[in-house]
């Protein structure tokens, strides 16, 4: 089964045609001026260890500190050709858009391979009122 080698939360991420990742603005905290608020976008960038012939669905969901599902990313099909040499490294990026933030604390971005939870990325939301 594929494994996650590394994971980042960031402002934007993409992988070019040659497989090179660009990861822009990594972060672990969101500072909200007031609640509720909407965070315009955040991306997840994942480094995967893969085996030839593997095929699986990769999906994700974000939960609030109180355990409510806030948003999700529908499954993305990942397939590695069976003639690929040995273990391969792969990079996958996906985004969450207009995420509604209603409470402070640690949000959890859970990553699934098929239906198995394989990784959780914490995201800390802090209320930081803007000065007058």
Confirm whether 131 is domain-assigned.
no
Q: What is the CA radius of gyration of the chain?
A: 16
Q: With CA atoms as reference, report the closest residue to 63 among 101, 117, 18.
A: 101
pLDDT at 51: 83
Domain that holds residue 48: 3-125
Confirm whether 53 is domain-assigned.
yes
Residues 6 or more apart whose CB falls under 8 angstroms from that of 69 comprise 61, 62, 63
pLDDT at 9: 98
Confirm whether 132 is domain-assigned.
no
Averages of pLDDT over each 10 residues, the chain, 132 residues = 93 92 97 95 95 91 98 92 72 96 98 97 92 66
Give CA separation, 50 vs 4, 33, 69, 86, 109, in Å: 9, 41, 29, 9, 21
pLDDT at 87: 67
Confirm whether 30 is domain-assigned.
yes
From the centroid of its chain, how far is CA 45?
Answer: 6
Cα–Cα distance, 104 to 89 (Å, whole number)? 35
pLDDT at 85: 64
Confirm whether 10 is domain-assigned.
yes
CATH code, domain carrying 53: 2.60.40.1930
Confirm whether 130 is domain-assigned.
no
Confirm whether 112 is domain-assigned.
yes
Confirm whether 9 is domain-assigned.
yes
pLDDT at 90: 86
Adjacent-strand bridge partners of 92: 46
pLDDT at 123: 98
Q: With CA atoms as reference, report the closest residue to 100 among 21, 46, 32, 6.
A: 32
Q: How many domains does the chain have?
A: 1
């Amino acid at each position: 089964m594929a494994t996650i080698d590394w994971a980042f939360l960031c402002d934007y991420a993409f992988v070019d045609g040659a497989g090179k990742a660009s990861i822009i603005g990594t972060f672990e905290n969101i500072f909200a001026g007031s609640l509720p608020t909407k965070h315009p976008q955040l991306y997840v960038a994942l480094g995967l260890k893969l085996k030839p012939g593997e095929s699986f669905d990769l999906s994700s969901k974000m939960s609030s500190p109180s355990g409510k599902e806030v948003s999700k990313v529908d499954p993305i099909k990942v397939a590695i050709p069976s003639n690929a040499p040995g273990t391969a490294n792969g990079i996958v990026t996906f985004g969450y858009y207009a995420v509604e933030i209603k409470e402070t604390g640690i949000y959890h971005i859970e990553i699934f391979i098929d239906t198995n939870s394989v990784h959780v990325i914490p995201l800390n939301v802090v209320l930081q009122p803007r000065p007058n």
